[in-house]
């Protein structure tokens, strides 16, 4: 934090120190790794799109889709409505494909380049399933798909998951091995030309994860994808597709980091989730891309389209995100609540520091009867950063009995940052009940009174309630991520504004 940023007296030392600990120049994942990689030629044109498709040995229909998306993208304009300010991106000045040079032979953990394994070890990501299978103490049982720049380098526990019928593999493998599933569901939640960055992703997407949970199966372990952007001058355009069939359950985790560089790197991903009748998907993200240095030099542009379609009755999708990285974030994980009685949840903690900019939020679109959604968003701005919560809650005419509760609180630390709230609420039927509030005191009037009745001072009571509430959001994260997230969010919330 700059010395010239004036800190309010009322904010305690611990808070300030915690924020300092998150300072851009203390980014512990910013190391560079010298891995032998091959690249597509720099720039973007139809030949590059064909190059990527050929590298992945894709069927004709997928190449056709990519080329169609590329043509559409050329006609589109980059959106400017977000509360962000960054120099124009030169889409011809980056690599759209970078892959570690492949060794010949079967793809197993033993065959993975030890240098890449060393990178993941350094990031604290265990790719060693034998330790877990052998019962090594402390080894978490999480299946990991490790995506390194444009390719998935390894996916663990595939065999064990296959015993239950669960498909967990890289997107490229899914295209080869499960083309029917991919063709049926890909683009059914996020249409090809949904928005500028999604269309770009459709043209040049590289790798990502594919998950299919068969009917009635509760996925026996957490599934996780860890994205690492390593190569210089490269954009990452991953694609994730999760299909939860009837009455299934899966918890999916996503983590991402990048080396510290002076350049801005682009990350434009698509995540699609389909939840069929009675299915439940829990999607958690700890987004920790390189945020740039304290002067705003470098950092990742994180322009992501994430959407879930609660297609079946009684289905549920829960998004939990801890956003601490990226120079610019543009991200609105959403739920289309199509099935009757379906539920959508969005829990978010976003921290911006240095010169970071985040315009993030969610959309809850109620189409089915008795659909319910809940949005809890906590934003903390420090340094010279700016943060915006932007959300949409809407109900269709047939969405009788729809309910939404939204709460978004923001905290400003220092006098040079900004916190903004832009909620859109659209109701089309009288039987909906939408509530939106953006103040801690409104949330806790009754509880404050209760606490004060029991002898707590007002300050202690507020601290107790807000900390308790924040912990509740963190508890939405699976245990594997909770510790990392808690370290990132070790900031006491005080003096909140809406």
Partner 1 sequence: MIHMQPDAVISHFPHKRMEAWKWTDLRMSVSEEHMGLTRAVTPRLTLPDGVSCSPGNRHHGSSGVMPTLAAGFAPVCWNIRVPTGLNVQGPLRIDNLSGGHACMFIRVDKGASLDIEEYHQGPDRRFSNMDLQVHLAEGSRLRRVVVQNDPGNAVRVATACIAAEKHSILEQYMLSFGGALSRLETRLYSEGEGIEATMNGAYLLDGRRHTDMTGHVEIAGSHCTVRQSVKGVVTDKSRGVFQGKFHVKQAAQHTDARMRHDALMLSDTTEVRARPELEIYADDVACAHGNTIGALDENVLFYMRQRGIPQARSRSMLTEAFVAEAFDDLDDAASKQSLLTRVQEWLA
Residue where the block lists tokens 């976003």: 350
CB of 175 to partner 1, least distance (A): 38
| C-beta of 10 vs 137, nearer to partner 1 | 10
Among 85, 426, 458, 459, contact with partner 1 (rule: CB under 8 A): 426
Question: At 394, is the secondary structure helix, strand, or coil?
Answer: strand
Distances from the Cα of 341 to the Cαs of 276, 300, 338, in angstroms?
A: 12, 38, 9
Residues contacting 456, CB < 8 A, separation 6+: 464
Distances from the Cα of 390 to the Cαs of 194, 260, 302, 331, 403, in angstroms?
A: 18, 28, 16, 9, 19
| C-beta of 261 vs 390, nearer to partner 1 | 390
- The bridge status of strand 280-287 relative to strand 249-257 is parallel
Asked if 50 touches partner 1 (CB under 8 A), the answer is no
| C-beta of 179 vs 418, nearer to partner 1 | 418
Among 123, 192, 422, 490, contact with partner 1 (rule: CB under 8 A): 422
Asked if 360 touches partner 1 (CB under 8 A), the answer is no
CB of 415 to partner 1, least distance (A): 5
Farthest-apart Cα atoms in the chain, separation: 71
Asked if 424 touches partner 1 (CB under 8 A), the answer is yes
d(CA 88, CA 12): 39
CB of 439 to partner 1, least distance (A): 3
| C-beta of 2 vs 441, nearer to partner 1 | 441
Among 2, 8, 136, 216, contact with partner 1 (rule: CB under 8 A): 8
Q: 89: which DSSP letter? A: P
d(CA 309, CA 272): 8
| C-beta of 45 vs 428, nearer to partner 1 | 428
Site for partner 1 in 163-182 (CB under 8 A): none
| C-beta of 12 vs 93, nearer to partner 1 | 12
Asked if 416 touches partner 1 (CB under 8 A), the answer is yes
Residues contacting 471, CB < 8 A, separation 6+: none
CB of 414 to partner 1, least distance (A): 6
Asked if 495 touches partner 1 (CB under 8 A), the answer is yes
- The bridge status of strand 363-366 relative to strand 386-395 is parallel
Asked if 209 touches partner 1 (CB under 8 A), the answer is no
CB of 114 to partner 1, least distance (A): 49
Residues contacting 54, CB < 8 A, separation 6+: none
Asked if 63 touches partner 1 (CB under 8 A), the answer is no
> In DSSP terms, which residues pair with 289 in a beta bridge?
none
CB of 315 to partner 1, least distance (A): 24
From 155-163, 206-214, 240-248, 416-424, span contacting partner 1 (CB under 8 A): 416-424
> Could you tell me which of 168, 33, 172, 174 has the C-alpha nearest to residue 100?
33
> Could you tell me which of 251, 344, 246, 355 has the C-alpha nearest to residue 298?
355
Among 351, 412, 466, 489, contact with partner 1 (rule: CB under 8 A): 412
> Could you tell me which of 211, 228, 289 has the C-alpha nearest to residue 99?
228
From 47-55, 86-94, 283-291, 407-415, span contacting partner 1 (CB under 8 A): 407-415
Asked if 2 touches partner 1 (CB under 8 A), the answer is no
Q: For 358, phi and psi rounded to 5 degrees? A: -135, 125
Asked if 492 touches partner 1 (CB under 8 A), the answer is no
Per-residue burial over 427-455, b = 16 or more CB atoms within 10 Å of its CB, e = otherwise:
beeeebebebebebeebbeeebeebeeee
Asked if 397 touches partner 1 (CB under 8 A), the answer is yes
Binding string, residues 64-93; x marks residues near partner 1 by CB under 8 A? -----------------x------------
CB of 325 to partner 1, least distance (A): 23
| C-beta of 216 vs 495, nearer to partner 1 | 495
Asked if 420 touches partner 1 (CB under 8 A), the answer is yes
| C-beta of 139 vs 392, nearer to partner 1 | 392
Distances from the Cα of 12 to the Cαs of 3, 17, 182, 491, in angstroms?
A: 16, 9, 52, 10
| C-beta of 282 vs 384, nearer to partner 1 | 384
Binding string, residues 429-468; x marks residues near partner 1 by CB under 8 A? xxxxxxxxxxx-xx--------------------------
Indicate the helix (H) or strand (E) that contains 228: strand 222-228
d(CA 66, CA 53): 8
From 115-123, 169-177, 281-289, 405-413, span contacting partner 1 (CB under 8 A): 405-413
d(CA 91, CA 369): 43
| C-beta of 239 vs 384, nearer to partner 1 | 384
Indicate the helix (H) or strand (E) that contains 386: strand 386-395
Q: Which residues bind partner 1 (CB under 8 A)?
A: 8, 10, 81, 397, 400, 410, 412-439, 441-442, 495, 497-498
């Amino acid at each position: 934090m700059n010395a010239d940023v004036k800190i309010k007296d009322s904010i305690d030392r611990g808070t300030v120190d915690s924020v300092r600990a998150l300072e851009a120049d203390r980014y512990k994942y910013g190391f560079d790794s010298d891995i032998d990689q091959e690249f597509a030629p720099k720039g973007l044109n139809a030949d590059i799109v064909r190059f990527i498709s050929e590298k992945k040995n894709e069927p004709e229909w997928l190449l056709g889709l990519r080329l169609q998306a590329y043509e559409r993208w050329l006609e589109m304009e980059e959106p400017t409505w977000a509360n962000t300010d960054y120099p124009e991106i030169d889409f011809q000045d980056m690599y759209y494909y970078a892959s570690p040079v492949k060794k010949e032979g079967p793809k197993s953990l033993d065959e993975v380049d030890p240098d890449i394994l060393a990178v993941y070890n350094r990031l604290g990501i265990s790719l060693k399933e034998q330790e877990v299978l052998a019962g090594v103490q402390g080894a978490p049982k999480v299946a990991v798909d490790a995506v390194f720049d444009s390719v998935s380098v390894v996916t663990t526990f595939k065999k064990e998951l296959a015993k239950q019928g669960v498909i967990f593999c890289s997107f490229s493998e899914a295209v080869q091995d499960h083309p029917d599933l991919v063709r049926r569901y890909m683009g059914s939640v996020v249409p090809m030309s949904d928005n500028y960055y999604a269309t770009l992703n459709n043209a040049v997407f590289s790798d990502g994860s594919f998950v299919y949970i068969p009917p009635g199966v509760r996925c026996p372990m957490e599934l996780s994808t860890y994205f690492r952007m390593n190569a210089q001058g490269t954009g990452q355009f991953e694609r994730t597709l999760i299909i939860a069939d009837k009455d299934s359950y899966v918890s999916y985790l996503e983590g991402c980091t990048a080396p510290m560089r002076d350049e801005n790197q682009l990350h434009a991903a698509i995540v699609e989730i389909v939840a069929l009748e009675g299915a439940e998907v829990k999607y958690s993200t700890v987004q920790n891309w390189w945020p740039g240095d304290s002067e705003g030099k470098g950092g990742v542009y994180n322009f992501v389209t994430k959407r879930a379609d609660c297609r079946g009755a009684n289905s549920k999708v829960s998004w939990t995100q801890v956003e601490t990285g990226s120079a610019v974030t543009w991200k609105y994980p959403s739920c289309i609540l199509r099935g009757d009685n379906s539920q959508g949840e969005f829990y978010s903690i976003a921290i911006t520091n240095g010169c970071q900019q985040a315009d993030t939020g969610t959309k809850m679109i109620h189409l089915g009867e008795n659909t319910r959604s809940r949005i809890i968003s906590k934003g903390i701005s420090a340094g010279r950063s700016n943060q915006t919560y932007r959300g949409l809650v809407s109900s269709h005419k047939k969405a009788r009995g729809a309910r939404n509760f939204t709460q978004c609180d923001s905290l400003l630390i220092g006098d040079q940052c900004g916190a903004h709230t832009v909620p859109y609420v659209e109701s089309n039927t009288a039987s909906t009940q939408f509530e939106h509030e953006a103040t801690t005191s409104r949330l806790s009037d009754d509880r404050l009174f209760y606490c004060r009745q029991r002898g707590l001072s007002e300050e202690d009571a507020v601290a107790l309630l807000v900390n308790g509430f924040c912990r509740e959001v963190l508890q939405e994260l699976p245990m594997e991520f909770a510790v990392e997230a808690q370290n990132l969010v070790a900031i006491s919330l005080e003096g909140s504004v809406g």
